[in-house]
Amino acid sequence: MNAALEERVRELREERHHGASWMARHALEALVEAVRNGEDPVEAARLLASTRISLGAIAGAVGRVLTAGSPAQVVAEAEAIIGSRYRAAKIIAVMLEPDISGTVLTHSASGTVHEALIHTPPQHVVCTISEPGGEGRTLAAELKAEGIDSELIADDEGPAAAQECDLVLLGADTVFMDGSLVNKVGTLAIASAAKDAGVPVVVACETFKLAPFDPHPPTEDIFDLVPAEMIDRVVTEEGAAETGDVASLIYRTPCLRQGYDLLRGRRSELRAFEES
């Protein structure tokens, strides 16, 4: 492993302040740089995906570009996804427009959620501080700078606030095949409280955060696994689905499954990759 890739891997392992979309983009940039420096695309992608096992966004992003074929095609696909990130967020924001009104609560600091709230400002936004990291402070300040009425609350106030709001809008680190969610610690308590109060819980995320397999507990204690029954809908740039239909979104994006197969080293998939 060259020094540049080693540094990128270290940054991803130690990062605690940015969201999953930022880290996925950072991993793709690292993969592009590594391939241009002569590293094997599959091995570099596996290394990057292993940095944060709980974040399916990294594995989903680097695995997806591996299916492009040759090293040059992998670079081109990675650059295309990096360039389309903001377009995906804007598409999701438009799709969320009918859901956003009244008071919206969000936890952590999703760039996709930020885009949706800017596109359709609600009457009031409640942001949890979201420790460890406290990224909710930055989100609340950014929303205020955009003229949106926002409030910052302590994490332990999140569940009670969720029961009084009109919508809980969340980003995602991973959405599994059954519709369950991995997100910042504290999400489970908020989603559970919202469910008890009949408040809709909607997840906004890019398709590369969809994981084509069954859920498993996060390996890092800064994340929660939220059962599918606590989530109403998942909205991606490829469409929206109730949690029971998330699998259909994944099946419509076969490169997600193929990418994970490459990362896992399944021989049949690797043979197809080498022959492409």
Residue-wise pLDDT tens digits, 38-89: 888 888 888 888 887 666 778 888 888 888 888 999 899 888 888 777 788 8
pLDDT at 270 over 60: no
Chain-centroid distance, C-alpha 253? 16
DSSP 201: E
Q: How far apart are CA 184 and CA 191, in angstroms?
A: 12
Query: Which whole number is the average pLDDT over 21-41?
Result: 88
d(CA 65, CA 258): 10
Which residue, 168, 183, 169, 170, is CA-closest to 56? 183
Q: Which domains does the chain have, with CATH numbers?
A: 3-84+254-275 (1.20.120), 90-251 (3.40.50.10470)
Whether residue 145 has pLDDT greater than 90: yes
Burial class (CB in 10 A: 0-12, 13-18, 19+), 275: exposed
Q: Which residues of 243-270 are buried (b: 16+ CB within 10 A; e: fewer)?
A: beebbebbeebebbbbbbbbbeeeeebe
Query: In this structure, which amino acid lies at residue 144?
Result: K
Share of the chain above pLDDT 90, in %: 52
pLDDT at residue 272 greater than cutoff 80: no
By the 8 A CB rule, do 184 and 223 touch?
Answer: yes
Confidence of residue 232 (pLDDT cuts 50, 70, 90): very high
| DSSP bridge pairs for 235 | 204, 240
Under 8 Å between Cβ of 75 and 35: yes
- Identify the residue with better confidence: 220 or 105: 105
Report the side by side order of strands in the sheet with 174-176: 210-211, 174-176, 181-184, 223-226
Reply yes or no on whether the pLDDT at 274 is more than 70: no
Residue 255 in this model has a pLDDT that exceeds 80: no
pTM score above 0.85: no
DSSP-based three-state secondary structure for 202:
strand
CA torsion angle for 193, 197, 200, 202 (degrees, to 10)? 0
The total of other beta-carbon atoms located within 10 Å of residue 219's CB is 10
Return the pLDDT at 271: 39
Distance separating the N- and C-terminal Cα atoms of the chain: 25
Bridge partners, 240 (sequence order): 235
Q: Provide the pLDDT for residue 92.
A: 95
Least confident of 87-101, 153-167, 214-228, 248-262: 248-262
